[in-house]
Amino acid sequence: MRSPVPRFRDVERQAGGQQPAQCLPPCHERQNNMWFIRDACGIVCAIITWFLVFFAEFVVLFLMLIPSKNLSYSLVNGTLFNSLAFLALASHFRAMCTDPGAVPKGNATKEYIESLQLKPGQVVYKCPKCSSIKPDRAHHCSVCKRCIRKMDHHCPWVNNCVGENNQKYFVLFTMYICLISLHTLVMVVFHFLYCFEDDWTKCSSFSPPATVILLILLCFEALLFLIFTSVMFGTQIHSICTDETGIEKLKREDPTWEKTPSWEAIKSAFGGPLSLAWLSPFADLSCQKDASAPVPMFPQGEIIEEDVIEIPLEPSSM
């Protein structure tokens, strides 16, 4: 009786018989073109996200900080708020426009599989939707219309999937929105107390009814986003530490991979050893792969029809 054949893992990394580069995080074939998903719902959600941040910016500056008589209070809180807002929007942009780890389409060809130089008895899987050889832990996204490596979920608020290449930026986005929401709530409370003690006509450049309405709307927005982003931030950190994506937990998939220790998984997700670069949306994920090394080409050919391809066993010698 023949033993079960092993599933081949991360087949794209061994194209042309090359060994995968050792790096943190794993090195992938990166595209120079900007990644952007043309999804109407996602685009609208992304625009709403930016609009809400700019609305908070408007209310904080023109209703609370600029009319304040305390210059140091305005400068400190204005600098902190604008810095967090800038980092949040930069993280959002990077999460939205970074390839999350998409598997190239149409590489499920006989020529490509032969170039992998797999061992007899190994099995590779073809995605029937995008006709690509599917690496282990990759899942197909119906919105992106691609298979995504270590796909956690598709987030309409960033109009992109959250995968192994952009999870850092998504985590930073949720963290900075959480911090800016908490900071806003504190400023709103102090401003309400200031207006109650002083004349409402003097504590804002707007009329008292407009001031109250804008503060209530800002308070509701900050509280809603504080709860939402703090939960998302916690679940993302937990997923990284347990080396199990959200979709793997949802499907209750049995781990077929060797789990990475929590600290190593965090360093892999954030791009290397602990440093200030972890907090920067402008720091790319580090990789030790030589940038001058040629990117392997995928042999072209006809797409195979089978979804499960087993490398035939070598004929036994008589």
SS (H, E, C) the chain: CCCCCCECCCHHHHHHHCCCCCCCCCCCCCCCCCCCCCCHHHHHHHHHHHHHHHHHHHHHHHHHHCCCCCHHHHHHHHHHHHHHHHHHHHHHHHHHHCCCCECCCCCCEHHHHHHCCCCCCCEEEECCCCCCECCCCEEEECCCCEEEECCCEEECCCCEEECCCCHHHHHHHHHHHHHHHHHHHHHHHHHHHHHHHCCCCCCCCCCHHHHHHHHHHHHHHHHHHHHHHHHHHHHHHHHHHHCCCHHHHHCCCCCCCCCCCHHHHHHHHHCCCCCHHHHCCCCCCCCCCCCCCCCCCCCCCCECCCCEEECCCCCCCC
Q: What tokens were used for 270?
A: 């954030």
45 belongs to the catalytic site: no
From the list 141, 147, 155, 161, the catalytic residue is 155
Active site members: 155
